[in-house]
């Protein structure tokens, strides 16, 4: 079957992969193949239903990756969900459209990626976006939703906005009043997507406001363009590994795939192979192709093509917990999420002392992470990353936690997480077999600041529920409840509840980090894998640092920029 030849092969038809496929196939003389392990979910109600979050979990469109038993978090394995479908994880995610704090994107440049800063990324956020102005949707009257046109795109492929189930009964305004009544108020921020996230906000989602269905990467970037004759998509096809040219430099010749009928074949790429299989798959594909740590590869009989030991390292995720309260109002078939993003100064009563103590601990943190992976990532480099992260929190004032409040039936549900945990783990292959489960070890709660931030977020939520006018609308705390975690509990008292009830926040990143090679990077600022002439990674794997928003908006923007780089425009 060697007659299958394309200019570009994109591995993974997910959030990032379909952006790049769309943009490259705008060039009529360029042929593009997308290889996707899942199928079409265009008519899958578990995907399209805007109130259906979670319905797709543990179905055949959820990879449901398992972590190793988590040493610092109760010794149990966690499930990290990811979409297995055309559209990838954008077909099962929570549809939240929240970007990042400008200083965080600027930190990508600080760490050595020239040109990757907020100013240069904003046009790509806008390019991908088609904001649906709430003024055209009367059902949003009174809902409190808002946006600043300076920060949004209106003609991009990705529909962003609010659905017809958005609550408009005045709760948003009461939430705001509550935040203003806190001892340390959290100010109202009409638009958290302009690079400053601090405050209390209503945020938009990836929905089609007209049709009231989920907007995913396939609906935005593929289906309207599926008649392009130079753009092919192979569904139910597993990419096994990159194949290499017999040449002096390390040049990909194509991709070995297993088709839906179980036959294995090689597709030829005349220009590039572009990995977009997600942060828990792209590094494993690199390893299966001989790019990684020779000590790991040799264990499975894989010959090293490029000695790049940090492939799969630097894995960063967040930890998600919740508190639940009774509600005196019943909310059914309605949706609303209110977010608050306090800074360290707003969250910690003694922020300066907390910052000083953390700063003293950073060298030990760096040494601990390095030693956990056999010094594959270096203490010196990790200290440098941690100091950048410390500066973001304590100098630039990025949000230190995220708090979501969701009215749901007869209760108020909350979710919270430290936005930038310091703990770092890894993902590596466990076998030379291309579909074997990988060894995923995020090392949740390895470093104590991560627990401290998580505890402080829980305490903050308790304060919100004690503050008027909201206090009067909510009933008792049902989870964990004061019998399980007493009022005034300290970190130790909270630890048990938090560690036995958390889940992955499903935001794994950085496993093929964009950074200089000398400090452990896997891809350069053009997203090319070090040591290769024509292999790139364009998905969540390349983000060097966690972002305070949710990942998809940033991944769409990164992929838009990647496409311009590949086209030679940057
Ligand atoms: P993906 O979109 O996962 O794409 C990878 C694709 O590669 C998939 O289609 C996969 O099937 C395919 N693939 C993998 N391996 C192979 C192979 N060997 N061969 C062929 N194909 C392969 N972010 C937000 O911004 N807002 C949210 O509300 C939000 N909620 C979330 C809720 C959940 C449950 C989850 C899991 C994530 C959520 N996220 C959210 C995160 C966000 O959706 C993801 O970070 C993002 O979609 C990842 O994009 P990606 O391009 O890196 O990977």
Residue 123: strand, helix, or coil: helix
* Alpha carbons within 13 A on the beta-carbon side of 173: 7
Task: Specify whether the CB–CB gap between 396 and 100 falls below 8 A.
Answer: no
Could you give the C-alpha distances from 529 to 517, 520, 542, in angstroms and in order?
10, 12, 10
What is the C-alpha to C-alpha distance for residues 495 and 510, in angstroms, rounded to an integer?
27
| Residue the block writes with tokens 């609010």 | 162
DSSP state string for 304-356: PSEE-TTTT-SBB--EEEEEEEEEEEEE-S-B--EEEE-BHHHH-TTHHHHHH
Extract the tokens encoding 240.
Answer: 């096994």
SS3 label, residue 280: coil
Note the pLDDT tens digit of each residue in 150-188.
999 999 999 999 999 999 999 999 999 999 999 999 999
The one-character DSSP state at 236 is: S
Give the model confidence (pLDDT) of 64-81 as tens digits.
Answer: 999 999 999 999 999 999
Check if 137 has its Cβ closer than 6 Å to any atom of ligand 1.
no
Rg (CA), the chain: 23
Q: Confidence band (pLDDT; 50, 70, 90) for 2?
A: very low
- Express each pLDDT in 40-57 by its tens digit: 999 999 999 999 999 999
Model-wide pTM > 0.90: yes
Position 336 scores a pLDDT of 87
Q: Give me the mean pLDDT over the 187-205 stretch.
A: 98
Q: Is the pLDDT of residue 140 over 90?
A: yes
Q: Do the strands 338-341 and 401-418 form a parallel or antiparallel pair, or are they unpaired?
A: antiparallel
Alpha-carbon span 385 to 513, nearest angstrom: 12
| Residue to mutate, 9, 11, 13, 14, ligand 1, most ligand atoms under 8 Å from C-beta | 14
User: In this structure, is the dihedral angle defined by the CA atoms of residues 368, 370, 375 and 379, taken in order, positive or negative?
Assistant: negative
Report d(CA 432, CA 301) in Å as an integer: 7
Ligand 1 atom 4 nearest Cα: 14
> Exposure of 58 by Cβ count < 10 A (0-12 exposed, 13-18 middle, 19+ buried)?
exposed
pLDDT digits (tens, 9 = 90+) for 13-48: 999 999 999 999 999 999 999 999 999 999 999 999
> Could you give the CA distance from residue 212 to residue 49 in angstroms, rounded to a whole number?
8
Among the ranges given (334-343, 390-399, 515-524), the one the predictor scored with the smallest mean pLDDT: 334-343
Handedness of CA 278, 281, 284, 285 (dihedral sign): negative
Annotated catalytic residue 550: yes
Contact 159 CB / ligand 1 (< 6 Å): no
Strand pairing of 474-479 and 503-504?
unpaired
283 ligand 1 Cβ < 6 A: no
Q: Please state which of the ranges 334-343, 361-370, 522-531 shows the lowest mean pLDDT.
A: 334-343
Query: Do 24 and 32 meet the contact criterion of CB atoms below 8 Å apart?
Result: yes
Nearest-atom index, ligand 1, CA of 281: 15
Q: Is the pLDDT of residue 294 over 60?
A: yes
**pLDDT higher than 90, residue 97:** yes
Which two structure tokens, joined as six digits, stand for 470? 């909201």
Is the distance from the beta carbon of residue 404 to the nearest atom of ligand 1 less than 6 Å? no
- Please count the other Cβ atoms lying within 10 Å of the Cβ belonging to residue 475: 13
275 C-beta closer than 6 A to ligand 1: no
Cis amide bond preceding 150, omega within 30 = no
CA distance 373 to 368: 9
CA nearest to 533, candidates 265, 231, 291: 291
Whether 428 sits among the annotated catalytic residues: the reply is no
pLDDT value for 1? 41
CB 509 within 8 A of CB 316: yes
pLDDT tens, 339-349? 999 999 999 99
Q: How does the average pLDDT of the chain come out, rounded? A: 97
Could you tell me the two tokens for 474?
């909510």
ω into 480 cis (within 30 of 0)? yes
Comparing CA positions, the residue from 406, 415, 373 lying closest to residue 507 is 415
Output the CA 209–ligand 1 centroid distance in Å: 23
Average of per-residue pLDDT across 530-551: 98
Nearest CA to ligand 1 atom 12: 12
Give the residue carrying structure tokens 């398992």.
66
Cβ neighbours, 10 Å, residue 380: 12
- Provide the β-strand partners of residue 340: 200, 403
Interval 417-430 mean pLDDT: 98
The residues facing 247 across adjacent strands are none
Residue 92 Cβ contacting ligand 1 at under 6 Å? yes
Are 164 and 139 in contact, with CB atoms under 8 Å apart?
A: yes
Average pLDDT estimate for 322-332: 94
Please provide the distance, in angstroms rounded to a whole number, between the alpha carbons at the two ends of the chain: 35
Region 323-335: mean pLDDT is: 93
Token pair, residue 38, equals 């899942």
**Residue 341: CB atoms within 10 Å:** 26
> How many angstroms is it from 278 CA to the middle of ligand 1?
6
| Spatial CB neighbours of 37, under 8 Å, sequence gap ≥ 6 | 12, 84, 236, 237, 238, 239
Between CA 556 and CA 88 the distance in angstroms is 12
Considering only CA atoms, which of 365, 494, 364 is closest in space to residue 423? Answer: 365
Please determine, for the modelled complex, whether the ipTM score is greater than 0.90.
yes
């Amino acid at each position: 079957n060697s007659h299958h030849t394309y200019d570009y092969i994109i591995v993974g038809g997910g959030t990032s992969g379909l952006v790049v496929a769309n943009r490259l196939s705008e060039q009529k003389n360029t042929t593009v193949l997308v290889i996707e392990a899942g199928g079409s979910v265009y008519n899958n109600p578990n995907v399209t239903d805007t109130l259906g979050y979670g319905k797709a979990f543990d179905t055949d469109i959820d990879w449901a990756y398992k972590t190793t038993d988590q040493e610092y978090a109760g010794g149990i394995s966690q499930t990290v969900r990811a979409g297995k479908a055309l559209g990838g994880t954008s077909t099962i995610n929570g549809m939240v459209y929240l970007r990042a704090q400008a200083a965080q994107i600027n930190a990508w440049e600080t760490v050595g990626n020239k040109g990757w800063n907020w100013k240069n990324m904003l046009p790509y956020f806008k390019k991908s976006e088609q904001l649906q102005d709430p003024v055209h949707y009367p059902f949003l009257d009174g809902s409190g939703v808002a946006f600043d046109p300076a920060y949004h795109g209106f003609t991009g492929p990705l529909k962003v906005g609010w659905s017809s189930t958005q609550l408009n009964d005045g709760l948003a305004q009461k939430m705001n009043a509550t935040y203003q009544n806190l001892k340390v108020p959290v100010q109202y921020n009409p638009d958290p997507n302009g690079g400053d996230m601090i405050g209390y906000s209503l945020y938009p989602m990836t929905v089609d406001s007209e049709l009231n269905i989920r907007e995913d990467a396939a609906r935005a970037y593929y289906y309207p363009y599926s008649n392009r004759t130079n753009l092919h998509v192979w569904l139910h096809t597993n990419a096994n590994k990159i194949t290499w040219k017999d040449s002096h430099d390390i040049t990909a010749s194509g991709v070995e795939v297993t088709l839906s009928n179980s036959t294995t074949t090689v597709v030829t790429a005349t220009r590039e192979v572009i990995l977009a299989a997600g942060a828990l798959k792209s590094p494993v594909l690199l390893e299966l192709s001989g790019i990684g740590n020779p000590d790991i590869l040799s264990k499975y009989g894989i010959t090293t093509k490029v000695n790049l030991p940090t492939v799969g390292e630097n894995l960063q995720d967040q930890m998600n917990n919740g508190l639940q309260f009774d509600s005196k109002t019943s909310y059914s078939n309605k949706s609303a999420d209110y977010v608050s993003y306090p800074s360290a100064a707003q969250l910690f009563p003694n922020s300066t002392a907390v910052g000083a103590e953390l700063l003293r601990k950073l060298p030990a943190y760096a040494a601990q992470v390095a030693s956990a992976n056999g010094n594959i990532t270096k203490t010196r480099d990790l200290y440098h990353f941690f100091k950048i992260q410390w500066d973001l929190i304590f100098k630039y004032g990025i949000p230190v936690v995220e708090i979501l409040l969701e009215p749901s039936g007869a209760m108020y549900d909350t979710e919270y997480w430290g936005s930038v945990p310091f703990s770092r783990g890894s993902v590596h292959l466990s076998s030379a077999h291309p579909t074997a489960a990988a060894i995923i070890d995020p090392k949740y709660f390895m470093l104590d600041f991560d627990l401290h931030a998580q505890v402080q977020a829980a305490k903050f939520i308790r304060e919100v529920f004690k503050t008027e006018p909201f206090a009067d609308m909510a009933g008792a705390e049902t989870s964990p409840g004061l019998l399980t975690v007493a009022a005034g509990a300290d970190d130790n008292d909270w630890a048990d509840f938090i560690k036995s009830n958390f889940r992955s926040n499903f935001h794994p990143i950085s496993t093929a980090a964009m950074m200089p090679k000398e400090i452990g990077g896997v891809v350069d600022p053009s997203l090319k894998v070090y040591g290769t002439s024509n292999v790139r990674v364009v998905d969540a794997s390349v983000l060097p640092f966690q972002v305070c928003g949710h990942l998809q908006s940033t991944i769409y923007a990164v992929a838009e920029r990647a496409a311009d780089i590949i086209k030679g425009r940057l």
